[in-house]
């Protein structure tokens, strides 16, 4: 049996080429042995049949594989699954609650923010990440320099103007060019 | 990709020891560059030593009024840090100009500094490349080099360093803190990356197995303001053609402090020492900025298809310095 990721004597573990990992995917603990070359994207799609995240480029350039890892949006195609043992992974499939679409998903439907739909699960996960980053006051390049905050206290949320949305969503390409509707959909759910 | 081992380092000492025992090992942080290069067959580690969970994820004020940034602080967290935004806005802007939101959530300080060139031949194992395979030749000199270097290149390699963050750190006089089996040391960021010379396979002065543990920013000189600006082929999510990081302090219309660095021009972030010498003491006018930029860029030796970068770099420097002088007025 393969050793658990990174456990035991490091010098010994260096010899093994596969490990057992547990990923909490959309709220369900999934334990599997992965070859160390396996990306989180391939583990999800090929091993766990979670096919919401898509493989567009496999090189970090298109955003189709965007998922939320421990609450933050990331590109599953560049994350080695073994390195994320224990992580909570949320994909487009896991966003709805009690059969109701997540507000971002509902906005994409209402705005018709897709054509072929290939980029959509990644767009939706990315938008969910954008909303929480903005709520936590994380700036983007489009954010005007605010009053300096050197003291304690949380930074104020960033208002998601269309310019902010375009800048923050720029890592998600849409080959069908549904950008105008995507920006509108994200704008609809922004507070 | 070839099969490889994986070890999660429990401490810095642990990481160094595993590396020492496995010469083919590589440190893994966010993986956003290394995993990509492994898929391309450019990087072929035997063991990945995962340093991402090491306790190097803090941003702390130093006793002297500077900032110490851990090697595993994520690019997005560093860009959002209140002290970075207020004291070192050029650093925040440089990070936010790089990659995409998803990538910045995974990428780390150490990995960003050590990311490798985006030269297309380097990334294509079917082509010769002195950086990837020393002695095989440099097809970029005669081939596709629009994005590549105009300063400090050699016949052996004309690549540029792709990091935006490193350009800001260079202008801000930051230093890199390193730990190796034989102890700790620090290097100015401006001396951390190398020029290619006849050893283009070496991007930096990092010794084999040495770990970046952090980056230190010295306190801000009195009255100084800084900014970062990047020019690229599309509005967002693209590497720099040219970028500028600058810091300026002006008193009674005269420049009392100037720091300037260019990105996208060379194998390392290009600290513009010549321009800085011209700037300090000069009146804070567009003419001074233009003369200083011109003096620096006199050394440029553009390739067939990238002469446009020289003019672009000069214009960009004048613009960023002008904005800083205006804000200070
Ligand atoms: C599509 C795309 C667009 C991008 N655009 C930009 C851009 O516009 N501007 C920009 O600046 N960057 C850009 N990047 C690059 C990105 O910033 C880097 O990939 C990232 O910063 C690397 O950090 P990491 O933690 O993921 O490093 P990793 O990929 O984990 O590691 C990179 C290298 O650093 C070494 N390493 C990591 N940590 C340490 C340490 N502590 N000590 C010693 N060695 C270490 C690794 O061994 C490896 O060689 C882009 C990347 C992609 C994929
Ligand atoms: S410029 Fe450097 S990296 Fe590019 S092909 Fe030449 S040697 Fe390789
Ligand atoms: S598949 Fe991951 S970014 Fe394109
Ligand atoms: S809807 Fe087809 S790629 Fe975006």
Token pair of B13, please?
A: 């000492």
CA–CA gap between residue A161 and residue A168 (Å, rounded): 10
pLDDT for residue A145: 80
Q: Do A59 and B36 touch (CB under 8 A)?
A: yes
Residue A2 maps to a domain: no
Residue B63: pLDDT above 50?
yes
Contacts of A21 (CB under 8 A, 6+ apart): A4, A5, A31, A32, A33, A34, A81, A82, A84, A85, A86
pLDDT for residue B222: 95
CA–CA gap between residue B155 and residue B158 (Å, rounded): 7
Mean pLDDT of the region B71-84: 98
Whether residues A50 and A23 share a domain: the answer is yes
pLDDT for residue A89: 98
Contacts of B74 (CB under 8 A, 6+ apart): B30, B57, B104, B105, B106, B107, B108
Neighbours of A58 (CB within 10 A): 17
Residue B309: pLDDT above 90?
yes
Residue A164 maps to a domain: yes
pLDDT for residue B153: 98
Residues 144-173 of B with CB under 8 A from A: none
Q: How many CA atoms lie within 13 A of B213 on its CB side?
A: 15
Q: Which domain holds residue A163?
A: 103-142+156-189
Mean pLDDT of the region B298-304: 98
Identify the weakest region by mean pLDDT among A78-82, B235-239, B281-285, B287-291.
Answer: B235-239
Whether residues A25 and A71 share a domain: the answer is yes
Residues B47 and B41 sit within 8 Å (Cβ to Cβ) = no
What is the position in ligand 3's atom list of the atom closest to the CA of A61? 3
Residue B322: pLDDT above 60?
yes
- ipTM of the shown complex: 0.96
What is residue A113's DSSP assignment?
Answer: -
pLDDT for residue B328: 62
In chain B, % of residues over pLDDT 70: 99
CA distances (Å), origin B242, targets B100, B158, B160, B314: 18, 15, 10, 10
Whether residues A63 and A112 share a domain: the answer is no
Higher pLDDT, A1 or B308: B308
Ligand 2 contacts CB of residue B314 (under 6 A): no
Pocket test for ligand 2, best of B115, B126, B129, B143 (most atoms within 8 A of CB): B129
In chain A, % of residues over pLDDT 70: 89
Whether residues A114 and A163 share a domain: the answer is yes
What is residue A80's DSSP assignment?
Answer: B
What's the gap in Å between B175 CA and the centre of ligand 2?
A: 27
Fold of B1-53: 3.30.43
Residues B135 and B97 sit within 8 Å (Cβ to Cβ) = no
In chain B, % of residues over pLDDT 90: 99
Q: What is the pLDDT of residues A110-136, one digit of tens each?
A: 999 999 999 999 999 999 999 999 999
Residue A12: pLDDT above 70?
no
Q: Do A83 and B50 touch (CB under 8 A)?
A: yes
What residues does ligand 3 touch, defined as CB less than 6 Å away? A 55-58, 60-65, 75, 77
CATH code for B225-328? Answer: 3.30.390.50
Q: What share of chain A is helix, strand, coil (3-state, %, to 5)?
A: 35, 15, 50
Whether residues A76 and A127 share a domain: the answer is no
CATH of the domain at A111: 1.10.150.120
Q: What is the pLDDT of residues A90-114, one digit of tens each?
A: 999 999 988 999 999 999 999 999 9
pLDDT for residue A149: 54
Whether residues A109 and A183 share a domain: the answer is yes
pLDDT for residue B129: 98
Query: Treating both helix axes as pointing N-terminal to C-terminal, what angle do A103-111 and A120-135 enclose, rounded to 10 degrees?
Result: 130
Residue A66: pLDDT above 80?
yes
CA–CA gap between residue B250 and residue B228 (Å, rounded): 18
Give the closest ligand to the alpha carbon of residue B98: 1
Contacts of B84 (CB under 8 A, 6+ apart): B59, B67, B78, B91, B92
pLDDT for residue B257: 98
Report field, pTM of the whole predicted structure over 0.90: yes
Token pair of A66, please?
A: 């965007």
Residue A42: pLDDT above 80?
yes
Contacts of A46 (CB under 8 A, 6+ apart): none
pLDDT for residue A154: 76
Residue A146: pLDDT above 80?
no
CA–CA gap between residue B295 and residue B272 (Å, rounded): 9
Residue B208: pLDDT above 60?
yes
Q: How many domains does chain A have?
A: 2
Query: Treating both helix axes as pointing N-terminal to C-terminal, what angle do B308-328 and B286-297 enclose, rounded to 10 degrees?
Result: 150
What is the position in ligand 2's atom list of the atom closest to the CA of B138? 6
Mean pLDDT of the region A23-39: 98
The sign of the CA dihedral B140, B144, B148, B152 is positive
Whether residues A183 and A123 share a domain: the answer is yes
Mean pLDDT of the region A7-15: 59
Neighbours of A67 (CB within 10 A): 31
Residue A6 maps to a domain: no
Smallest CA–CA separation between A116 and chain B, in Å? 23
pLDDT for residue B200: 98
What's the gap in Å between A61 CA and the centre of ligand 3?
A: 6
Residue B267: pLDDT above 50?
yes
Residues B314 and B244 sit within 8 Å (Cβ to Cβ) = no
Mean pLDDT of the region A137-162: 83
Residue A56 maps to a domain: yes
Residue A183 maps to a domain: yes
Residues B161 and B268 sit within 8 Å (Cβ to Cβ) = yes
Residue A10 maps to a domain: no
Residue A9: pLDDT above 80?
no
Residue B125: pLDDT above 50?
yes
Residue A47 maps to a domain: yes
CA distances (Å), origin A178, targets A24, A54, A74, A171, B81: 32, 17, 22, 14, 33
CA distances (Å), origin A166, targets A140, A177, A191, B235: 10, 13, 16, 10
Whether residues A53 and A126 share a domain: the answer is no
What are the extents of the domains in chain B?
1-53, 225-328
Q: What is the pLDDT of residues B131-185, one digit of tens each?
A: 999 999 999 999 999 999 999 999 999 999 999 999 999 999 999 999 999 999 9
Binning pLDDT at 50, 70 and 90, where does residue A13 land? low
Residue A3 maps to a domain: no
Q: What is the pLDDT of residues A152-180, one digit of tens each?
A: 667 899 999 999 999 999 999 999 999 99
Contacts of A106 (CB under 8 A, 6+ apart): none
Residue B271: pLDDT above 50?
yes
Mean pLDDT of the region B94-101: 98
């Amino acid at each position: 049996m393969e050793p658990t990721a990174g456990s035991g004597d490091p010098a010994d573990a260096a010899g093994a080429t596969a490990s057992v990992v547990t990923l909490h995917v959309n709220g369900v603990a999934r334990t599997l042995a992965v070859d160390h070359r396996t990306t989180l994207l391939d583990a999800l799609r090929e091993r766990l049949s979670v096919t919401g995240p898509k493989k567009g480029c496999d090189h970090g350039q298109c955003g189709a594989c965007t998922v939320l890892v421990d609450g933050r949006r990331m590109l599953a195609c560049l994350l080695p699954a073994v390195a994320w043992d224990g992580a909570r992974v949320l994909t487009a499939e896991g966003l709805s609650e009690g059969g109701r679409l997540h507000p971002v998903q509902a906005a994409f439907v209402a705005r018709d923010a897709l054509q072929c739909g290939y980029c959509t699960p990644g767009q939706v996960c990315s938008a969910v990440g954008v909303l929480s980053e903005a709520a936590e006051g994380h700036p983007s390049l489009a954010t005007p320099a605010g009053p300096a905050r050197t003291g304690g206290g949380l930074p104020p949320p960033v208002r998601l103007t269309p310019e902010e949305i375009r800048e923050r969503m720029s890592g998600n390409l849409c080959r069908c060019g549904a950008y105008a509707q995507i920006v509108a959909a994200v704008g609809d759910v922004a507070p | 990709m070839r099969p490889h081992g994986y070890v999660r380092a429990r401490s810095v000492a642990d990481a160094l020891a595993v590396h020492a025992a496995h010469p083919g090992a590589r440190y893994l942080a966010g993986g956003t560059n290394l995993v990509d290069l492994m898929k391309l067959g450019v990087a072929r580690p035997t063991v990945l030593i995962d340093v991402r969970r090491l306790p190097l994820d803090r941003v702390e004020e130093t006793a002297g009024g500077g900032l110490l940034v851990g090697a595993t602080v994520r690019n997005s967290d560093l860009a959002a840090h209140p002290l970075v935004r207020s004291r070192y806005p050029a650093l925040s802007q440089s990070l936010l100009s790089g990659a995409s939101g998803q990538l910045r959530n995974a990428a780390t300080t150490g990995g960003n500094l050590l990311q490798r060139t985006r030269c297309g031949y380097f990334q294509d194992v079917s082509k010769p490349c002195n950086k990837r395979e020393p002695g095989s030749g440099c097809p970029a000199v005669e081939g596709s080099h629009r994005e590549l270097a105009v300063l400090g290149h050699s016949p052996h390699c004309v690549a540029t360093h792709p990091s935006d963050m490193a350009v800001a750190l260079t202008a801000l006089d930051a230093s890199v803190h390193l730990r190796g089996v034989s102890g700790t040391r620090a290097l100015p960021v401006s001396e951390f990356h190398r020029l290619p010379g006849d050893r283009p396979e070496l991007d930096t002065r990092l010794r084999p197995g040495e770990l970046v543990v952090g980056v230190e920013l010295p306190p801000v000189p009195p009255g100084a303001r800084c900014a970062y600006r990047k020019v690229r082929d599309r509005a967002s999510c693209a590497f720099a053609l040219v970028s500028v990081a600058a810091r300026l302090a002006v008193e009674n219309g005269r420049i009392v402090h100037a720091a300037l660095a260019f990105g996208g021009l060379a194998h390392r972030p290009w600290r513009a020492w010549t321009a800085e010498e011209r700037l300090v003491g000069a009146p804070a006018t567009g003419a001074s900025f233009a003369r200083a930029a011109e003096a620096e860029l006199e050394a440029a030796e553009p390739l067939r298809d990238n002469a446009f970068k020289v003019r672009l770099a000069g214009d960009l420097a004048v613009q960023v310095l002008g904005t800083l002088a205006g804000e200070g007025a």
